[in-house]
Structure 1
Amino acid sequence: MKAMVIKRYGKDVPLQQVEVPIPTIGEKDILVEIYAASINPVDYKIRDGKVKMLLTYQMPLIVGNDFSGKVLKAGAKVTNFKIGDEVYGRPRKTRIGTFAEYLSVHEDDVSLKPKNLSFEEAASLPLVGLTTWQAFHEILKLKPGQKILIHAGAGGVGTFAIQLAKQMGAYVATTASDKGYELVKSLGADEIINYKQQDFEGILKNYDAVFDTLGGETLEKSFNVLKAQGKIVSVSGLPNRKFAIQNNLGLLKTILFSIVSRKMTALEKKHDATYHFLFMKPSGEQLSHIKKQVEEGKIRPIIDQIIPFEDAQKAINYVETGKAKGKVVLKMK
């Protein structure tokens, strides 16, 4: 089968199209013929070696973290799917590789795709949907009437997050440029901060929560908008001691993460707030909840471009510019 691989870590390492064997399946796995896959920042973070503290991969590595397609084979103990089912999913982190013609994936990591979406639209949702679902339902426990700041509202995660937060009854502020203004407004954002002209931390106050996808200085400034006992969830900040303990990462990484996240710990104490680093987990069950919301018209996918599989490198380069509004999807079939 055709697949896009990297052969080593590094920022300038190109994707290479190669021929590799079709993967085998275990008794709880399904073999999916991939119709579409989406580009996510984690794809180039993996390439750059930025997640090596959390995950190490053997090279060459087939990249890609979410997909849609059709079930070709089912393992002997698979109970939820049959041959021909149209599915979407995010494989567990040890089994990534969606930039390929076929994928072997555990049935627990997959859901039937929303019936009202194309394969390209469905492929745009698993990673951003699960990330947001876990941030809002499991960590923030967002309640109606609460105020949340969602950074980069016109991005892949942001466009989904605004919609889910509104469905949960929250008041949503977001940051966007002039080019993203109309999009985030159409998704339901209540307050829009033009980050090129305004300082969000000087305008927004007494927020219950912040959802950060940018990290760095933006994350640090976000503490200023929180009320006492507010919460920040970040997918781009540094993992901390709490994350290491919750994920049973062992003493060495617990100490290491305590050291690298000292600034976050100091900001937590200064602002009487809590900081959570989120490394999303696959869940077919949560994708089924998202499927229901999509089929009911409560959430819609936002796609910037659909790009042929052969041009995967161009697609990653474009997403890295930060200019994409919504998701960029690779079309296989």
Structure 2
Amino acid sequence: MKGLYYQQNATALEDMFFLQEMDNVSPPSDYHVKLQVKACALSPINTKLVSEVMLEKESVPVGREVAGVIMEVGSKVSFFQQDDDVVGILPLDSQESGLSEVLWIHEHNLVLKPEKISWVEAAGAVRDGLSAYTALHFLAHLGPGKSVLIMDGASPFGALAVQLSQHTGAMVIATAYNHEDKQYLEKLKPSLARVLDLSKSKVDLAEACLEETGGLGVDIVIDAGVILYKSENSITKSQPLPHKHDIITLLSVGSHWVTREENLQLDPPDSHSLFLKGATVSFLNNEIWNLSNAQQGKYLHILSDIYIKRQHLNVFWPQLDEPVPLYEAKVVMEMVQKNETRKKQVVQL
């Protein structure tokens, strides 16, 4: 039984990921279930976070977004039964790779998968769905009538954030990084308020958003990274990013800026502008729920609601590529880590 692992001290990307045979692991506790994995989604590894949290580990399991069938339950498991279809995210300190055919996972990391949702769709939506839900509801307090700007709206995360915003009754503006992304966003139903193609230099993000909102500004901004200094060129980034001053300019009074830029730096003039607008800045950390169990119930509620909305309300349709066989997992994971894929990559076991 093989699993994919990340080597922390690797000197080259080609040596960063490796497949390794795993021994049959015994159940860690009476609260664990034995899962037969049907699909596992791949997401980039935050190498900085992993190095800070897992200092003593040389290798870390890869593939944490899993969907499968429960084969066996521990004596104290109360949420699930044998043969239940489930989906969830392995904890950050998991010893097992989600690309294993069989693994043990604590019941508090899983929720039931509706029958009508495929294994690949279930695994492909769980992480980005959780991030979109966290950004819009938990951090930005999304509500009907709000105006929302979602950067890189055609990405796997952006697509789910757009869908959730539209479902809630918000006016959505999204940015695209190329013509294909723009076409995808323009075909969404209901139609977005506006799609801005940032690959065209003539597009002024702040001006376009202020025009769309009658000069009032945007209530919620979900970025995909920003340029911090004027000397920093967006060409050095993998995508054309806006400057942080553009984001601050287009914010409305009492607005929420949710950033995925973990190294965001605000100078005193920036802070003063945010102060005058009464705006808040929140950081979207994908691992916030796994780093603390203080709100485990809310975490499981969010996961469950993702699939309820997907089944009954036509929300949370993931941007999926063709399923990947297990023998191609290492090569595909290297592409994911280098941000060379636009759609969500899911390994079908």
Please say if 1:22 is aligned against 2:58: no
Pairwise CA distance, 1:175: 0.9
How far apart, in 2, do the equivalents of 1:215 and 1:279 lie?
Answer: 16
Pairwise CA distance, 1:319: 3.1
Moved over 6 A (4+): none
Out of 18, 30, 35, the position equivalent to 1:32 is 35
Q: Structure 1: which amino acid aligns with 2:266?
A: K
Please say if 1:269 is aligned against 2:272: yes
Q: Does the 8 A contact of 1:308 with 1:331 survive in 2?
A: yes
Aligned positions, number: 306
Out of 226, 230, 235, the position equivalent to 2:260 is 235
Please say if 1:210 is aligned against 2:216: no
How far apart, in 2, do the equivalents of 1:130 and 1:152 lie?
Answer: 17
How far apart, in 2, do the equivalents of 1:289 and 1:213 lie?
Answer: 24
Please say if 1:290 is aligned against 2:306: yes
How far apart, in 2, do the equivalents of 1:166 and 1:73 lie?
Answer: 40
321 and 264 in structure 1: CA distance in 2 versus 1, 3 angstrom threshold: farther
Q: Structure 1: which amino acid aligns with 2:247?
A: S
Pairwise CA distance, 1:325: 4.1
Q: What do the CA deviations read for 1:177-235 (whole angstroms, capped 9, x no partner)?
A: 21112222233432111010123233212000111233444372422221122111123
Pairwise CA distance, 1:157: 0.4
Which shows bigger deviation, 76-85 or 269-278? 269-278
What SS does the aligned partner of 1:82 have? Answer: coil
Out of 319, 331, 337, the position equivalent to 1:302 is 319
Q: Does the 8 A contact of 2:39 with 2:347 survive in 1?
A: yes
How far apart, in 2, do the equivalents of 1:144 and 1:40 lie?
Answer: 31
101 and 57 in structure 1: CA distance in 2 versus 1, 3 angstrom threshold: farther
50 and 165 in structure 1: CA distance in 2 versus 1, 3 angstrom threshold: same
TM-score, normalised on structure 1?
A: 0.84
Which shows bigger deviation, 149-158 or 52-61? 52-61
Which shows bigger deviation, 144-153 or 56-65? 56-65
Please say if 1:224 is aligned against 2:226: no
Identical counterparts, % of pairs? 22
How far apart, in 2, do the equivalents of 1:124 and 1:55 lie?
Answer: 26
- List gaps (5 residues or longer) in structure 1: 239-260
How far apart, in 1, do the equivalents of 2:35 and 2:175 lie?
Answer: 37
How far apart, in 1, do the equivalents of 2:218 and 2:320 lie?
Answer: 29
What SS does the aligned partner of 2:266 have? Answer: helix
What SS does the aligned partner of 2:196 have? Answer: strand
- List gaps (5 residues or longer) in structure 2: 211-216, 229-241, 291-298
Out of 319, 326, 332, the position equivalent to 2:336 is 319
Pairwise CA distance, 1:53: 4.0
What SS does the aligned partner of 1:202 have? Answer: helix
265 and 330 in structure 1: CA distance in 2 versus 1, 3 angstrom threshold: farther
How far apart, in 1, do the equivalents of 2:50 and 2:123 lie?
Answer: 23
What SS does the aligned partner of 1:78 have? Answer: coil
Q: Structure 2: which amino acid aligns with 1:130?
A: L
Please say if 1:87 is aligned against 2:93: no
Q: Does the 8 A contact of 2:248 with 2:273 survive in 1?
A: no
How far apart, in 2, do the equivalents of 1:82 and 1:36 lie?
Answer: 20
Q: Please name the residue that 2:293 is paired with.
A: none
TM-score, normalised on structure 2?
A: 0.80
Q: Does the 8 A contact of 2:42 with 2:63 survive in 1?
A: yes
262 and 236 in structure 1: CA distance in 2 versus 1, 3 angstrom threshold: closer
Which shows bigger deviation, 111-120 or 213-222? 213-222
Q: Please name the residue that 1:114 is paired with.
A: 114
Mapping of residues 45-64 of structure 1, within 5 Å: 45-46=46-47, 49=48, 51-53=50-52, 56=55, 58-64=57-63
How far apart, in 1, do the equivalents of 2:109 and 2:42 lie?
Answer: 18
CA RMSD, Structure 1 to Structure 2 (Å): 2.3
What SS does the aligned partner of 1:304 have? Answer: coil
292 and 219 in structure 1: CA distance in 2 versus 1, 3 angstrom threshold: farther
Q: Does the 8 A contact of 1:135 with 1:233 survive in 2?
A: yes
Q: What do the CA deviations read for 1:113-132 (whole angstroms, capped 9, x no partner)?
A: 13222111111011101111
What SS does the aligned partner of 1:290 have? Answer: helix
How far apart, in 2, do the equivalents of 1:265 and 1:126 lie?
Answer: 38
Pairwise CA distance, 1:164: 0.6
262 and 179 in structure 1: CA distance in 2 versus 1, 3 angstrom threshold: closer
How far apart, in 2, do the equivalents of 1:86 and 1:6 lie?
Answer: 28
